[in-house]
Structure 1
């Protein structure tokens, strides 16, 4: 092991800090090829323009915080202002602030004299009026904000940062830069948030990550057929993703465009208790289910990474726990009777701890417990019956345990014209294709551009045979045994076979030479040697001095998976 470590050090194989990418200018744009068959292309790009009499002016304000005070410990908790998870379903908040702030939006509106508030974590974009006041905004609300038992009050504070960011439509040129890392992305990000305004206010839309908007009711979209997976209660949703691009237009002038794309995504069920969710995956709940059993590992794979509300009340009413602590599931552990918390002088089981401290008698004390972690907190051992799955969570590829991915691909596959029509229907339904957004952004119709179909290439393979590309059933052979000789066979005169930590295999050199020569190569017999791992660097040094064209390493099946990296690193260094 020491020798291996030394070899890695000699090869400069270590953990280096990641370099910032995008600082090297991109290659210059290639001239268009004028030759080909002219065609008309229908795109998913919509040009953005200024409309109305308002002049957009964006001002960036500093981090806005809510402070929640614990009534028992008098400890303040700060978190960046966020929309509640069910915010997009309520359709009640028209001022882009959480619905739970009853009285808060109007107070904030009076204090700032602003018309719209657009959240951009951890900052806030404001579209100010001419009478915009730059004073700090400080609001304290004590009622109708949180249902948490230890809630005292919420304090909201908004202040301009030391160096405020202001931009107008004349600053669009800063978006384009030959070095991608130096491009100013703030302007398109702000416009993207503004354009999402109608989607945020649409009660039929769920918004994920601020840029993908999913329809709750897809009955008006003929392209889409709902898929439901009883195992896990998974359901599909149809949505549209958008991106703001700075592109060259038809008139050769650069303009802002909105690109849209159809999304078909699988979601976990909303607000379902974890024991019921486990039962859906396994077809019933075994109250003695172990984390290390086959079923336990299956459930772990299906749910790892999901977020859950911590619901001590075990109420089924969402409003009773939606403000509670949110934890991310990392896995499962022993049962509540066999998992213990350490005390100063003794230990106590998880079941006894919740009975003594919270007066909660667990219904499933023999069921595996959950290992979960709140954001910024430590790993916790929690009874599964106190966890409720948070809504609007996508099923990632890692959590697809059956054939869900292939079913999604099959369902979303369609001919281009059908898919484009469906994309337009969804974009209009979610509300991001409005011709007038907030009185100053105009979203145009999908662009139509002229293009050309390039002439088909001439592909020649073995024995100077030419591929017939006009025949749709014709295939170019990629198997050399079918194709014949290499089209341009190379000459291999000086090369070596090295057996690393294994015995020589009789007949291998001859078979390699025979196979290469049979495909038209001019090849000589190789030099053969057996080496130890410590001699790798010496092999490359000798090969460099002897002008070898190829070193063919043969390693045993049980060879450590890290050692091939040593071979490559050593060769690269030399």
Structure 2
């Protein structure tokens, strides 16, 4: 394990990998489907029909603004804006203004079309222009009121590639080789369908595909109002995709998903916003606890500068982003004209402004030469139409928004359809494009798996006395009980709870475990380390903590668990008080303990799993640019029993390709373990979670090769069958069970693999978990690669069966066990790293080897257990 951990430090990150030339696993068409109970399913997808032989022409747009700069002219292109947030939306608004003015001056743009402009660098037309290039020069305050503004230029020209596509090109938008798919018509239709909302003054469009209503009174939804004038708005996202369709030929569909988002107040002064928060005062310092706690709510908020020569220019005012809080205007000094002055004096002398709140902290923003500048709070006004990012919300605001979004199925469907109508996405376009009502498809409810437990017993799904929802089951004895012979129960100092010990031990014995009485120990002075040191000396198997929630030892306990390589279990004192009366709570705790000690609570009867290694990759954190470390979790059935899933986490750089650096290493680790415990598998199935369709080529051509190399590194003849499946909740498809009673959540085990899936690939949606509240979201699965083509029903059944293998809760979870467990490992790794901090080398770079060696689990006994159960 140590040698494998060291290999991580030598991983080379491939940049700009271009993939998609190799074919993905082709769809296998099944006949005589009889694998489950059919059910009618309503969706949020609408079929898009376009007239046959309808051409669509693509033109490039360039918008330039020219300004006086001293004795020369300077041009700025805003049609390829690289700005983000409100600044980007402002650039698009400028482009739209220039385009509309150009249309009024160009007879050709008045006669042709209809035209659809994306407010940046692209315009589509249903007719070809007589001239391949149009130029307009525009002047006047209606374009820009800036004193230095000279003119704007609008240039329209036909693009060099993909100039013309037609409605007959729909089949070209999908290809078993992803790189060869021509998405031109999809890009065009995404804009064309948004034509009406883009022109509607009651609709706020973010990007080109998310539309919010200013006036949503017709929707009759509740609103969330937060501190600082925040308020929610309802809207819909939209995407155009090519799917299988009813006729089993590539068909266009529009997906619309309900969006409920919190927005900052429009055109509010920053001082007003701050004043709305309890505890604010005009003399607040930047190091005040209130300011320190509130800073995150304002980081990244865009504001207009409300002073200087541009203060009366409306949307053309200077825009800044808040980077933090600084010293007050009276305290903050800087050099101006080679003399030191304060912000307070500078504003008085430069702008003849006597600041009202000179003792209030200032706002830090990026100035010239990337140096911070300090701006008085009273001189800033929030930019309009700013969505509130999650990190800018309080926990209460996040909770309220989640509750608002967690609508019941019939409510979500009704509101989605209403918003689509109000926004204008459900309307036909120019008589050439027709938008249908939401599609209805047939799904299948798969049979529940056979579940065996101790005493050769099986779960009786038809038992009228079974507890909970229809998917819940109960077991009376573990399939493989563990032994707990040396353990300690840890209490707070002078706060024992002997009444909890007996019921726990009795329940362990009832479930078949061999248990000896524990030793009791107490936390002294809040110090946990001595507890672990003594436990290791005494060769304890486990530490069971029963402590008051107010002490909050959990995070530190789990970090010490990793450091000392010793299993722990945490029970809140308040919960333990009720253990004698609550059998289900006791069983839940014992379920965890048995699994952590290497036992098996029950097993799923699935022959396809017996000689197959199943690996899941998951991360609870987003990828992206930068090299800040994140934790990738993985889990596999590499233990002695094929239904036991264990694993761990590995720290990697935060990149857009989150898994690429560790695939080969992890597969090699899992192969070594399964060979040691059960022998060489005949097949490997790997699930990758959270990947997008754009990464299918990467998985197929890079990850698959790494899996093969991991096998060959074991032995030249180690060539098991390989199957790779991508799992994703990063989609906007919503599915609703439809019957005579209306719309409801799908039953667990419902699959959809026709009409609304990829026309060329083995793709399906599965809903595994019970929705306790709101509307459940199906997981989309796509078979990316296989060396042994089999009907898609094999993968559907296996994936559904694995959703029942959580072992702790007796009902299916939202993902198959290897992915669900890998996700919990990823979360644990992130928690350990947050508590202990990553290690960097002398050059300031993240040190893979040192961080994984010190804070990882690959070289520990924990790795062979399900320590995070």
TM-score scaled by length of structure 1: 0.76
| 1:235 to partner: Cα distance | 0.8
Q: Cα distance 1:187–1:558, how it changes in 2: closer, same or farther (>3 A)?
A: closer
Query: What 5-or-longer segments of structure 2 have no aligned partner?
Result: 484-532, 543-565, 568-592, 602-638, 642-667, 679-831, 840-849, 861-869
Which secondary structure does the structure 1 equivalent of 2:315 belong to? coil
Q: Cα distance 1:548–1:559, how it changes in 2: closer, same or farther (>3 A)?
A: farther
The equivalent residue for 1:115 is: 113
| Counterpart among 434, 439, 450 of residue 447 in structure 1 | 439
Q: How does 1:36-115 map to 2 (within 5 A)?
A: 36-51=36-51, 55-62=54-61, 64-70=62-68, 76-81=74-79, 98-99=96-97, 103-108=101-106, 110=108, 114-115=112-113
| 1:507 counterpart = 2:538 | yes
The equivalent residue for 2:186 is: 188
| 1:369 to partner: Cα distance | 1.5
Structure 1 Cα separation of the partners of residues 443 and 117 of structure 2: 39
| 1:136 to partner: Cα distance | 3.7
The equivalent residue for 2:342 is: 349
Any conservation in 1 of the 2:482–2:598 contact (CA below 8 Å)? no
Structure 2 Cα separation of the partners of residues 570 and 413 of structure 1: 39
Q: Cα distance 1:462–1:232, how it changes in 2: closer, same or farther (>3 A)?
A: farther
Which secondary structure does the structure 1 equivalent of 2:402 belong to? helix
| 1:26 to partner: Cα distance | 3.6
| 1:66 to partner: Cα distance | 2.7
Deviations 1:279-320 (A, max 9, x none): 11236x52221222222123321111111112216999xx74
The equivalent residue for 2:169 is: 171
The equivalent residue for 1:537 is: none
| Counterpart among 233, 254, 269 of residue 265 in structure 2 | 269
Q: How does 1:206-217 map to 2 (within 5 A)?
A: 206-217=204-215
| 1:78 to partner: Cα distance | 1.0
Which secondary structure does the structure 1 equivalent of 2:346 belong to? helix
| Counterpart among 244, 247, 251 of residue 247 in structure 2 | 251
Structure 1 Cα separation of the partners of residues 838 and 477 of structure 2: 35
The equivalent residue for 1:294 is: 289
The equivalent residue for 1:411 is: 404
Any conservation in 2 of the 1:278–1:299 contact (CA below 8 Å)? no
The equivalent residue for 1:34 is: 34
The equivalent residue for 1:237 is: 233
| Counterpart among 450, 466, 471 of residue 458 in structure 1 | 450
Any conservation in 1 of the 2:191–2:208 contact (CA below 8 Å)? yes
Q: How does 1:292-371 map to 2 (within 5 A)?
A: 292-312=287-307, 320-343=313-336, 345-371=338-364
Which secondary structure does the structure 2 equivalent of 1:352 belong to? helix
| Counterpart among 840, 849, 853 of residue 566 in structure 1 | 853
Structure 1 Cα separation of the partners of residues 426 and 136 of structure 2: 36
The equivalent residue for 2:480 is: 486
Structure 2 Cα separation of the partners of residues 327 and 358 of structure 1: 19
Which secondary structure does the structure 1 equivalent of 2:46 belong to? strand
Structure 2 Cα separation of the partners of residues 191 and 215 of structure 1: 22
Q: Larger deviation: 207-216 or 179-188?
A: 179-188
Any conservation in 2 of the 1:329–1:370 contact (CA below 8 Å)? yes
The equivalent residue for 1:388 is: 381
| 1:144 to partner: Cα distance | 1.8
Q: Larger deviation: 136-145 or 368-377?
A: 368-377
Structure 1 Cα separation of the partners of residues 132 and 28 of structure 2: 48
Any conservation in 2 of the 1:40–1:448 contact (CA below 8 Å)? yes
Which secondary structure does the structure 2 equivalent of 1:342 belong to? strand
Which secondary structure does the structure 2 equivalent of 1:29 belong to? coil
Q: Cα distance 1:115–1:517, how it changes in 2: closer, same or farther (>3 A)?
A: closer
| 1:384 to partner: Cα distance | 2.0
Query: What 5-or-longer segments of structure 1 have no aligned partner?
Result: 490-501, 524-539
The equivalent residue for 1:494 is: none
Q: Cα distance 1:402–1:198, how it changes in 2: closer, same or farther (>3 A)?
A: same
The equivalent residue for 2:125 is: 127
Which secondary structure does the structure 1 equivalent of 2:188 belong to? helix
| 1:264 to partner: Cα distance | 1.2
Any conservation in 1 of the 2:242–2:251 contact (CA below 8 Å)? yes
The equivalent residue for 1:529 is: none
The equivalent residue for 1:16 is: 13
Q: How does 1:466-481 map to 2 (within 5 A)?
A: 466-470=458-462, 471=466, 473=468, 475-476=472-473
The equivalent residue for 2:799 is: none
| Counterpart among 203, 206, 223 of residue 205 in structure 1 | 203
Which secondary structure does the structure 2 equivalent of 1:282 belong to? coil
Q: Cα distance 1:181–1:237, how it changes in 2: closer, same or farther (>3 A)?
A: farther
Structure 1 Cα separation of the partners of residues 198 and 598 of structure 2: 67
Structure 2 Cα separation of the partners of residues 570 and 109 of structure 1: 70
Q: Larger deviation: 463-472 or 392-401?
A: 463-472
| 1:466 to partner: Cα distance | 2.7
Q: Cα distance 1:131–1:396, how it changes in 2: closer, same or farther (>3 A)?
A: closer
| 1:341 to partner: Cα distance | 3.0
| 1:357 to partner: Cα distance | 2.7
| 1:176 to partner: Cα distance | 1.0
Structure 2 Cα separation of the partners of residues 418 and 569 of structure 1: 45
Structure 2 Cα separation of the partners of residues 390 and 155 of structure 1: 26
| 1:270 to partner: Cα distance | 0.4
Deviations 1:453-507 (A, max 9, x none): 22222222344443344546164469xxx85343899xxxxxxxxxxxx899223
Any conservation in 2 of the 1:113–1:132 contact (CA below 8 Å)? no
| 1:403 to partner: Cα distance | 0.9
Any conservation in 2 of the 1:463–1:487 contact (CA below 8 Å)? no
Which secondary structure does the structure 2 equivalent of 1:281 belong to? coil
Structure 2 Cα separation of the partners of residues 450 and 261 of structure 1: 20
Q: Cα distance 1:510–1:242, how it changes in 2: closer, same or farther (>3 A)?
A: closer
Structure 2 Cα separation of the partners of residues 312 and 456 of structure 1: 68
Structure 1 Cα separation of the partners of residues 427 and 304 of structure 2: 36
| 1:238 to partner: Cα distance | 1.1
Structure 1 Cα separation of the partners of residues 402 and 352 of structure 2: 48
Structure 2 Cα separation of the partners of residues 375 and 171 of structure 1: 49
Deviations 1:205-257 (A, max 9, x none): 111121111112222223x122322x211111111111101000111111111
| 1:412 to partner: Cα distance | 2.8
Any conservation in 2 of the 1:264–1:412 contact (CA below 8 Å)? yes
Which secondary structure does the structure 2 equivalent of 1:171 belong to? helix
Structure 2 Cα separation of the partners of residues 13 and 404 of structure 1: 43
TM-score scaled by length of structure 2: 0.52
Any conservation in 2 of the 1:49–1:441 contact (CA below 8 Å)? yes
| 1:424 counterpart = 2:407 | no
Structure 2 Cα separation of the partners of residues 97 and 108 of structure 1: 16
